[in-house]
Chain A
Amino acid sequence: MTTTQTPPAPPNPPVAPYRSTVVPPGRDGFPQLLRAEWTKLRTVRRWNLTLLGAVLLTILISLFAASSGKVETSGEKRGPAPTGPGGIQILDSFRYVHRSLPGDGTLTVRVDRLVGQGETRLSGWAKAGLLLKKSTAQGAPYAAVMVTPGHGVRFQHDFVHDTAGSEGDGVATARWLRLVRDGTRITGYESADGSGWQRVGSADVPGLDGTVQAGLFVTSPMVTRMERSFGAVSVDSRPARATAEFGQVAVSGTQGDWRHTGVGGRLPAGAGESEGAGTSTGTGGAFTVTGSGDIAPAVQDMDLGATSLSGTQLGLVLIAALGALFVTAEYRRGMIRTTFAASPRRGRVLVAKAAVVGAVTFVAGLVASVVSFVIGQPMLRANGHKPPQFAELHFTDGPVLRAVAGSGVLLALIAVLALGLGALLRRTAPAIATVVVLFVAPLVLVSILPLGLSRFLQQVTPVAGFAIQETRTRYGHVDSLCLPEDGCYPQGPWLGLGMLALYVAVVLALAVWRVRRRDV
């Protein structure tokens, strides 16, 4: 090797990138990227048709579901279901042994025993305890402290409010209860021995002013047994009767004699036949009371809101196809090279794509769900899904807004998930197939698989996102079957949607990582 005296070659002189002298330089910012992606989405006619098809399919299937079922009311005419404070539908049937309480006062009692009557076992939510109620009419405001066989001591008022006390050992040993009225402020206490008292709960119940009724109550909700095998569900609901023995009854501030009343002679429509009234005996310090029924909000079998939005379950197939194609079509046609040449930060490109396709499918999904709900609800009502059996839903109700807007979010998340899978797999067919198998297969399977597995699938697969469509309010202090085929998701709306969002975030993050690392 010969050495030469030529100086080392200078490093490449900085080359000025080509700049057009005619067109002002374009800006390479995120808004420009969004606009580019929006232009792509907007100008492919097939994608527009797919989006339109998704909206139409969603609406059509929703209306089909809304129009297909009729409620046949049995010949017997039932009275209107009682409604509680706030207009919600309630159950209010129990045996009541009571006196008038014009002012402040205190009730104390020892619940010695709470047992079931007859063949059926006792529900975990059978109740025995002390109750203050404005009147003996169904739906009147109340506050109560009670023992239950399955859920310990509870303080409840006005049907929907529930506070847990000590778990204790159910009703195996005697338990002391006390209810104190101070104006409209009601406080419940419990004690194991009648001397050391613990507060269970306290509430200001505005309805309990003036003269109220105060006394002992017993009730026991229906015992429901369910057998479910492969799509065939047999539900067997039987009224149960509970008997409680009360001792050491001490009251202050009350007037008049003890009166024995069966509140709510009959349970409302849909809950079967049951005598709300029971029997009660005793005077002075000890009573034996038998009652049947429940004091709780009524639970509805059918979710009218979700029914009128059910087209989303099929619309998602087209939305998923759109989301996947939005990136796989670029790979197939080679367009992706142009895209990445124009905007070399690939992760940002993918995020822009996700934002555009998510926003567009959200709007499309929102349009579809608003139209489905607005047209579907009158159809459902025309088919007999109306009060008193079914509560009427209004567009401005919180859960309805959540379900309708949530359906748009749901479809947007599905589109972004498909986009992420498309970027990961780079092929149309596997991306669409994966989304469908992740979403639609569980939706079909939950009604035929064993219950435990179905609930598991509802919680861990992306299908969980459909929980957002529920419009029923669920209460922790009421037993409900929560069957997957009724559209009941055990985890509740927000956790469900959160699960789906988690999937989307993970897949999109993986896609960004992969797109940045791999050659195009």
Chain B
Amino acid sequence: MSERAVGHDGMSGRAVGHGARWVRTAHAEWTKLRTLHSTWWFLAALVLTMVAVSALTTGTLRAGDCAALRTCEEDTVKLSLTGVWVAQAVALLFGALAVSSEYGTGTIRTTLTAIPSRWRMLAAKAVVVGGLVAAAAAVGVFGSLYAGRELVLAAGFTPAAGYPAIGLGDGPTLRAAAGSFLYVVLVALLGLGLGTALRDTAGALTAGFLLLYGFPLVAALLTDPDWVEAAQRIAPASAGLSVLATRNLDALPIGPWAGLGVAAAWAGALLVVGWGVLRGRDV
């Protein structure tokens, strides 16, 4: 009923316009997240796991692993971003908890009393969660690539040995960096969609982990290469993370940007399902 009516500013009683209402909704969501300790722990964990796992992985690289550096197929950029595989779990957790914890504590009733437009509430949550995760992911991706660059050089993959250093501004590297950044944000939105649809932390997490990690595992279990490729094309994690590759793009199951599109489709579809549940069901 209040969807079309002009909203009121609670304190001054002034009528507020459409745009301001959106800003206020987003501000309310931001306040809720900002004042939780766990938010900052999650964001710190996101950055730390990404950089730490990436650096530990890249640190194991030895020039001796390749017979000849010039023909070495090792994709150092992709290796430097291995942490995304683990950090996505934190992003999923953060996205899912942003809404499922409100169901757990009952805050959701207050939230929807204050913001009766469920669509606006969900969109505002998506914007705030996405923005926070984006900030953390940007730091994590940059840190991973920077650490990777140094470690790869230290491992002997130097330009002098015929191996180009990771240039943070190179086209493929930039694509991998931007892609992994977007991917982490998409996973957080996927978690938000799952949390909204399932309204339960444990359920949303289990479903999300099965989707992100279980799907590639099932793909790996298949013995028929055609099936493996088909499964990798539709799994959110394997398709979405094909964007990490900077070499041997032909060997990928799906093109880098198309793969990210698959991940975006999953996130979008789950948000739509979440919105459908939110709209159709009582709280």
A91-99, A119-127, A195-203, A448-456: which one contacts chain B?
Answer: A448-456
Task: Kindly state whether residue A70 has any CB partner on chain B within 8 Å.
Answer: yes
Task: Kindly state whether residue A298 has any CB partner on chain B within 8 Å.
Answer: no
B interface residue count range (under 10 / 10 to 19 / 20 to 34 / 35 or more): 35 or more
Q: Is the CB of A449 within 8 A of B82?
A: yes
Q: Mark B88-109, 1 if CB is under 8 A from A, else 0.
A: 0110110011000000100000
Within 8 A of B (CB), among A52-71: 61, 64-65, 68-70
Task: Kindly state whether residue B154 has any CB partner on chain A within 8 Å.
Answer: no
Q: Is the CB of A429 within 8 A of B224?
A: no
With A232-B251, A313-B217 known as contacts, the answer to whether A65 contacts B96 (CB < 8 A) is no
Q: Contacting A441 at CB < 8 Å: which of B61, B97, B213, B221?
A: B213
Within 8 A of B (CB), among A405-435: 428-430, 432-433
Q: Contacting B223 at CB < 8 Å: which of A68, A332, A453?
A: A68
Q: How many residues of A contact B (CB 8 A)?
A: 42
- Chain B residues positioned under 8 Å from A449 (CB to CB): 57, 82
Q: Is the CB of B89 within 8 A of A429?
A: no
Tell me the bound Cα distance from A448 to B216 in angstroms: 11
Tell me the bound Cα distance from A447 to B85 in angstroms: 13
B7-15, B70-78, B171-179: which one contacts chain A?
Answer: B70-78
Chain A CB within 10 Å — which of B73, B104, B213, B216 has the most? Answer: B213
Task: Kindly state whether residue A436 has any CB partner on chain B within 8 Å.
Answer: yes
Q: Is the CB of B85 within 8 A of A436?
A: no
Q: Is the CB of A428 within 8 A of B75?
A: no
Q: Contacting A432 at CB < 8 Å: which of B205, B218, B223, B227?
A: B205
Q: Is the CB of B202 within 8 A of A450?
A: no
Q: Is the CB of B220 within 8 A of A314?
A: no
Q: In the complex, how many angstroms separate the beta carbon of A488 from the nearest chain B beta carbon?
A: 14
Q: In the complex, how many angstroms separate the beta carbon of B235 from the nearest chain A beta carbon?
A: 10
Chain A, Cβ-Cβ closest to B203? A321
Task: Kindly state whether residue B283 has any CB partner on chain A within 8 Å.
Answer: no
- Chain A residues positioned under 8 Å from B93 (CB to CB): 429-430, 433
Task: Kindly state whether residue B206 has any CB partner on chain A within 8 Å.
Answer: yes
Q: Is the CB of A440 within 8 A of B60?
A: no
Q: In the complex, how many angstroms separate the beta carbon of B195 from the nearest chain A beta carbon?
A: 10
Q: Is the CB of B222 within 8 A of A68?
A: yes
Tell me the bound Cα distance from A430 to B202 in angstroms: 10
Q: Is the CB of B201 within 8 A of A429?
A: yes
Task: Kindly state whether residue B86 has any CB partner on chain A within 8 Å.
Answer: yes
Task: Kindly state whether residue B162 has any CB partner on chain A within 8 Å.
Answer: no
Q: Is the CB of B89 within 8 A of A450?
A: no
Chain A CB within 10 Å — which of B62, B75, B205 has the most? Answer: B205
Q: Is the CB of A68 within 8 A of B227?
A: yes
- Chain B residues positioned under 8 Å from A444 (CB to CB): 85, 213, 216-217, 220, 237
Q: Is the CB of B213 within 8 A of A332?
A: no
Q: Contacting B74 at CB < 8 Å: which of A68, A229, A443?
A: A229
Q: Is the CB of B222 within 8 A of A69?
A: yes
Tell me the bound Cα distance from A163 to B218 in angstroms: 41
Within 8 A of B (CB), among A461-475: none
Chain A, Cβ-Cβ closest to B253? A231
- Chain B residues positioned under 8 Å from A9 (CB to CB): none
Task: Kindly state whether residue B214 has any CB partner on chain A within 8 Å.
Answer: yes
Q: Contacting A314 at CB < 8 Å: which of B75, B82, B85, B214?
A: B214
Q: Contacting A485 at CB < 8 Å: which of B67, B74, B79, B220?
A: B220
Q: Is the CB of A229 within 8 A of B75?
A: yes
- Chain A residues positioned under 8 Å from B223 (CB to CB): 65, 68-70, 302, 307
Tell me the bound Cα distance from A447 to B62 in angstroms: 18
Q: Is the CB of B201 within 8 A of A450?
A: no
Main secondary structure of the interface of B (DSSP, over half): helix
Task: Kindly state whether residue A81 has any CB partner on chain B within 8 Å.
Answer: no
Task: Kindly state whether residue A15 has any CB partner on chain B within 8 Å.
Answer: no
Chain B CB within 10 Å — which of A317, A428, A429, A452 has the most? Answer: A429
With A436-B213, A440-B217 known as contacts, the answer to whether A321 contacts B222 (CB < 8 A) is no
Q: Is the CB of A437 within 8 A of B74?
A: no
- Chain B residues positioned under 8 Å from A447 (CB to CB): 220
Task: Kindly state whether residue A354 has any CB partner on chain B within 8 Å.
Answer: no
Task: Kindly state whether residue A400 has any CB partner on chain B within 8 Å.
Answer: no
Tell me the bound Cα distance from A232 to B209 in angstroms: 25
Task: Kindly state whether residue B210 has any CB partner on chain A within 8 Å.
Answer: yes
Q: Is the CB of B75 within 8 A of A332?
A: no
- Chain B residues positioned under 8 Å from A456 (CB to CB): 60
Tell me the bound Cα distance from A456 to B57 in angstroms: 11
Chain B CB within 10 Å — which of A227, A229, A428 has the most? Answer: A229
With A68-B224, A449-B82 known as contacts, the answer to whether A61 contacts B218 (CB < 8 A) is yes
Task: Kindly state whether residue B65 has any CB partner on chain A within 8 Å.
Answer: yes
Q: Is the CB of A443 within 8 A of B75?
A: no
Q: In the complex, how many angstroms separate the beta carbon of A1 from the nearest chain B beta carbon?
A: 49
Tell me the bound Cα distance from A69 to B218 in angstroms: 13
Chain B, Cβ-Cβ closest to A69? B223
- Chain B residues positioned under 8 Å from A437 (CB to CB): 86, 89
Q: Is the CB of A61 within 8 A of B221?
A: yes
- Chain B residues positioned under 8 Å from A433 (CB to CB): 89-90, 92-93, 205, 209
Q: Is the CB of A441 within 8 A of B206?
A: no
Q: Contacting B201 at CB < 8 Å: which of A64, A70, A428?
A: A428
Tell me the bound Cα distance from A229 to B74 in angstroms: 6
Q: Name 20 interchain pairs, CB-CB below 8 A, sorted by A.
A: A61-B218, A68-B223, A229-B75, A232-B248, A313-B217, A321-B205, A321-B206, A324-B202, A432-B205, A433-B90, A436-B209, A441-B213, A443-B213, A444-B213, A445-B82, A445-B85, A447-B220, A448-B82, A449-B57, A452-B62
**B residues within 8 Å of A by Cβ?**
57, 60-62, 65, 67, 72-75, 78-79, 82, 85-86, 89-90, 92-93, 96-97, 104, 201-202, 205-206, 209-210, 213-214, 216-218, 220-224, 227, 237, 248, 251
With A229-B73, A429-B96, A441-B89 already in contact, 19 other A-B pairs whose C-beta atoms are closer than 8 Å = A68-B223, A227-B73, A229-B74, A229-B75, A230-B73, A314-B217, A332-B104, A428-B205, A432-B206, A433-B90, A433-B209, A436-B205, A440-B213, A444-B220, A444-B237, A450-B57, A450-B74, A450-B79, A456-B60
Shortest Cβ-Cβ A-B pairs, 4 listed: A69-B223, A65-B221, A440-B213, A68-B222
